[in-house]
Chain A
Amino acid sequence: MPELGVGVVYSAALEPLLEAHPGLFDLIEVEPQTMWLERPDRPGEILAPPGVEEHLASLPFRKIIHSIGTPVGGSVRGVEAQLPLLRQTVKQLGAPWASEHLAFNLTPDFFTGFFLPPRQTEAGLQVYAQAIERLAAELGVPLAFETGVNYLRPRADEIPDGEFVAELAERTGAGILLDLHNIYANECNGRQSVAEFLSQIPLDRVWEVHLAGGLELDGFWLDAHSGAMPERLFAMAREIVPQLPNLKAIVFEVYASFLPQFGLDGVRREMERLRELWQLRQPRAGRAFHLSSKAGGGLRNLRADGVPVQDWESVLGELAIGRVSATALGQELAADPGIPLMRGLIHEFRASMVVGVYRLSCRLMMLALSPDVFRAILEDFWAHEPPRQYSASEAEAFMAYLRAKNLRLPQLTKIMEFEKAAMDTILEGKPHVVRFAADPFPMLNALAQGRLPDVIPQEGDYEIELTPEGPVKVSGVDLDRALGTYPFH
């Protein structure tokens, strides 16, 4: 495999930086599922909008693939429809390898909305080894699995984190995507130390390193991808990188929703630090670090299975999305402080998906009802509906819930109709028209500015036609006025 260098997980928000400083980046890491869409009325049917992959392919960097929809730390396979698309993306972008998460986000009954930790037992190893081998065969390129963050307390009935990763790498021949921020977070949160973890894994199997920043919440260090690497993590990385003889890439992760605070300059500074790390590599063919054998061997710590893999996934999934489990495992896990943390994080993700799609409708509700009341409505929705993987589906499920509740907030129905039309236009690729009995622009403009309108709208026949592409056209009103009041937000 080629040595690619340093890069960043791609998001459209980073494009200005990629354009301004192309020399800082050797590669971009693409999460293909973030480039796809799902129509809410056709769950499981994945759409790949035309032109997106072509655009990515045209960027002057090497690409590697980081899948987020087919995790290999679970017993339930991801949506089958995505596999041909995933394979096609790998091929079209010329990725020399791909990676996936050693975690699960599906149960037989629902999507969890979050990567949850695998069952670290012998039975788990068998299930996940099969998942890794199957996915590698389907993608047709070498596969690495990512070391995950785990907010649960260590368990007496599980194989220690490092030994589990080592054993899985040994059984499958797969590479390791060493997410240093994840194991740093695990150490901060009371799991295995970074040093112990690294002493147990075969360092020569690490093909790729992930680095990121995090933040503290409720006594936990979160893998939030929220900004700069902690200094202690960077210092650790300086010591670790020279010990990774087969390292092919170092990738920085930053979540787009934190970019307004962190800034593209912040990303640029982190990329310069990644370049410094890259210079520390000491490639030495044939060198192998498998310190777990010096510590006594991974199999030493294989535990009696106890809780089956499927039970683990069902119970942990139920608790994480806010349900109650009356099982013994459920009662035990419910006492783990990581459960309410993950539940809260899932809720934030779900709320973020809804406000991302129905932004103006949500602003209207927050302004008119107060954020607390809007939150109470969301919480009732979360209690009744499991998460969806795609934002459009999650948002539409919330709006269906609201329609059933018949919330009689003035103008809310029309704003929802407008935003649904915008979503449907994108998803269906054909125009939609929304008709109003009064001028909608004062309301749209006010909401775009984060306030309620201060004028009473003029009655009349108004139409907004939303088209997949094309120029702005106006009839019956001054063009400048229409453009000046359109909800840029």
Chain B
Amino acid sequence: MTAATERLLPWIAIVNFALVAAVLVVLGRLATARTLTDVPDGRQNTAELVLDWFVDLSRRIHPGSVLLVAPFLATLFLLILFSNLLAILPIPLLRIPPTAYFSVPLGLALVSVLGVIALKAKIDGVRAALKHIVWPNPLQLVGEATHTLSLSLRLYGNIGGEYLVAVLAAQAAPWGIPMVIHSLGLIPATVQPIVFTLLTADFLAASAVGAGARHDNGPVARVPAPAHGNGVAVTEVR
């Protein structure tokens, strides 16, 4: 990494992140542009394949608000995944993953933590969300700050550390070795978005979303959660 690249790193991170977001918006438009059919084919099948896991995850958190929770989780997952996968592009400046610059993971973690509070406020009302922050103990606030720190440091440590190792290896041995390190880096690049999304979903579930202020005046919160995914409860009953 030259000195000029190092100086311009914030701008490179911003531009790359914006590019990833733009590409995702275009892909999302393309995948869902047509009217949806009952028997999916081609593009619709791909879109449903991508979204299925998030719909399942958010249904487990709160069956009544899948439409609110699933897009949030899916956006976080796809943004982080595509940002990490920029590292395998063979284009000089574009291959710097924005998540390897600490401000981007910090922003994503802030979005995650604040988004959990906002979703709680949207589903259960503002009072329940505020109560969740300070009750049973005002130390919950420290917990929220720690969540932000741990989420951002985890993402940055994995992707930035891998990128640093790749850069150092490329300086020491320009041929062959960086390819091995890049292919090993594919593992954290795909696992970290899953972990980030799962932890956000866990924070959302831990904030007892759907069990707050509106619990008594609507049937929404009383819908029983379905048997988890692959019919464990059914097999146990048999």
B partners with A: no
Residues of B within 8 A of A (CB): none
